[in-house]
Amino acid sequence: MKEKKEYQLELVMHAEGGNLRKRLIIDDPEKYELMSKDQKRAYIEKMRREQQRMTDPRGPFVMGKNEPIRNLEGSDLTVADRRYFMMLVLYAGFNGEPLKKDGVALTNEMISKLWNLDTVKTMKRLSKFARIGLLEKVKSPHDGRIVNYVLNELYFQKGKAATKPKEKFVKLFQNKLSDVINEVEKINELKNRHRKTKTSIHNVIGLLHCVMPYFHFETYYLVSNPDESIIQPGETVLDALERNPKALKHLSKSRIGRILGYQNANRSTIDAYMDILQKAGAVMVLKTKNKTRYLIHPDLMFRLDHDGTDKYTRHIRAMFEQHEN
């Protein structure tokens, strides 16, 4: 049963100047009046964030927690594992609900079909995810013999506000992730069209999970200082990049290889991965003077508290669009 909304936001025309502004309408004014000033402020902020989430043109997203995801480095989680996990992220529901497709909670058999793996391999990988803690097993409310799965909120959550004030998140937009996965599939089919021995490039999707904690919150580059602001008061992002071009500590191919779990990373492998992700519209690879920089599409990952219609984000989005089709 859906929760009753205690508020709504609407756009109204301001009397002076004809400017649009937002107005919060409280459906339970008595409850609101009993709140302290701090509680009211927090309540309004919570409502504003939820309304923004509901109206974001990029669609629904899950929030990946940077530090726990970064702590997975060095575990026995492979790039291939991460690829299969990212496929499940597409089916994440709100507020800890089981993974669902078309309103139906995913079962082992359904996941086996989604992954195009046999039952034994599917069960082995799901057990690994449960052991590591990426997924939690829950019994189906309709049949206790059937197992469903939910995202462990230690790593990902959807629909809930941050539980720790200083916890760092990356919004991972499910629509764009789905588009990228589909594009990788098309690239793979084209690559194998005339080959007798088929190859698979699908594991490149796992790279996106690996690098989420390195997504810089203001510029969208992959860097080793993703939480450091480069902007001074009164500056735009472009102003800051022009003032201090070395503010960002960009990830090298070797560092990315280590993040992926390769002890002796082959740079050509990283080049191949990034080339595929660039063709799929997830990454932009920028090369100048033997230096390579990686920019993530802001409709795939985002960290700021707005809907991505600011000037800098529109600029980056337009850069990606220049390479489409």
Domain end among 132, 157, 182: 157
Residue 219 lies in a domain: yes
Alpha-helical (H) ranges within the chain are 29-33, 37-55, 66-70, 79-89, 108-115, 119-132, 174-191, 204-211, 237-243, 253-259, 267-279, 311-321
Residue 140 lies in a domain: yes
Residue 163 lies in a domain: no
Pair 176, 252 in one domain:
yes
Pair 213, 305 in one domain:
yes
Number of domains in the chain: 3
Pair 173, 316 in one domain:
yes
The pair of three-digit structure tokens given for residue 5, joined into one six-digit string: 């909304």
**pLDDT tens string 214-243:** 999 999 999 999 999 999 999 999 999 999
**pLDDT tens string 281-322:** 999 999 988 899 999 999 999 998 888 889 999 999 999 998
Pair 40, 80 in one domain:
no
Residue 75 has pLDDT above 70, yes or no: yes
pLDDT at position 43? 65
* SS3 label, residue 301: strand
Residue 257 lies in a domain: yes
Domain end among 109, 130, 157: 157
Q: Cβ of 83: how many Cβ atoms within 10 Å? A: 21
Residue 188 lies in a domain: yes
Residue 2 lies in a domain: no
Whether residue 79 contacts residue 207, with contact meaning beta carbons closer than 8 Å, is answered with yes
Provide the mean pLDDT of the chain.
Answer: 86
* Separation of first and last alpha carbons in the chain: 43
DSSP state of 5: P
Residue 57 lies in a domain: no
- Give me the torsion for CA of 189, 193, 199, 200, rounded to 10°: 0
Pair 183, 274 in one domain:
yes
Domain end among 157, 189, 221: 157
Pair 223, 244 in one domain:
yes
Q: Determine the structural domain holding residue 78 and report its residue range.
A: 62-157
Predicted TM-score (pTM) of the model is 0.83
Residue 164 lies in a domain: no
* Placement of tokens 């089709």 in the chain: 325
Q: Collect all residues with Cβ–Cβ distance below 8 Å to 214 and sequence separation of at least 6.
A: 222, 223, 224, 226, 251, 259
Pair 24, 70 in one domain:
no
The pair of three-digit structure tokens given for residue 68, joined into one six-digit string: 């726990």
Pair 127, 240 in one domain:
no
Instruction: Compute the distance between CA of residue 128 and CA of residue 25 in angstroms, rounded to an integer.
Output: 47
Q: Which residue has the higher pLDDT, 18 or 73?
A: 73
Pair 268, 176 in one domain:
yes
Residue 49 has pLDDT above 80, yes or no: no
Pair 280, 190 in one domain:
yes
Pair 133, 174 in one domain:
no
Pair 231, 309 in one domain:
yes
Please report the DSSP string for 219-286 in residue order: T-BBBS-TT---PPTT--HHHHHHH-TTSS-BPPHHHHHHHTT-TT--HHHHHHHHHHHHHTTSEEEE
Instruction: Compute the distance between CA of residue 92 and CA of residue 172 in angstroms, rounded to an integer.
Output: 11
